[in-house]
Amino acid sequence: MDTPKFNSGANALTNTLTGMIQKISDKPPVLDFGIINSDLSLTINSFPRPIPLTDYSICRQLLYDPGVPLTETYVDGSHSHPDASEPGTHSHKVKLPKKMRRLKAGDKVLVAIIQNEFVVVDIVYNAEHLTAEPDWT
């Protein structure tokens, strides 16, 4: 049994479809703004239907609780420090500003759309916040 041979029209169509598929798969990620809804679903400008909590991802820094020290160091030794107890043992807690906090309902967010996944990258604030002093916990 002979296998059918492609004619030049079929080859052209195959090449066109292959090129289109390649362009779609090589598409760079898209960025969009979104909002975290009261049920923690995500709604973005270009996709107005709520995306359930189970169907999007978030970057890890959005899980940080500013009420918990980022790190804590302990020093045991003799030196002057106002909070040192005898013989100089004390600790330092490093915290981030309150704006560097966990994601919550009502937050305006920057969303990257990569292939078929929505990823919340960060919380977006109005630039007027640049003039305010950082609010430390």
Q: What is the dihedral of CA 40, 42, 43, 44, to 10 degrees?
A: 150
Using CA atoms, how far residue 103 sits from 13, 16, 59, 108, in Å, is 48, 44, 10, 10
- pLDDT of the chain along its 137 residues, tens only? 555 555 777 777 777 777 766 665 666 668 999 999 999 999 999 888 999 999 999 998 898 887 777 777 766 655 555 555 555 566 777 777 778 888 999 999 999 998 889 999 999 998 987 888 777 65
Using CA atoms, how far residue 34 sits from 15, 17, 44, 121, in Å, is 38, 33, 4, 11
Helix (H, G, I), strand (E, B) or coil at 8: helix
Residue 95 is given by DSSP the state: -
pLDDT of residue 4: 56
Residues in the chain: 137
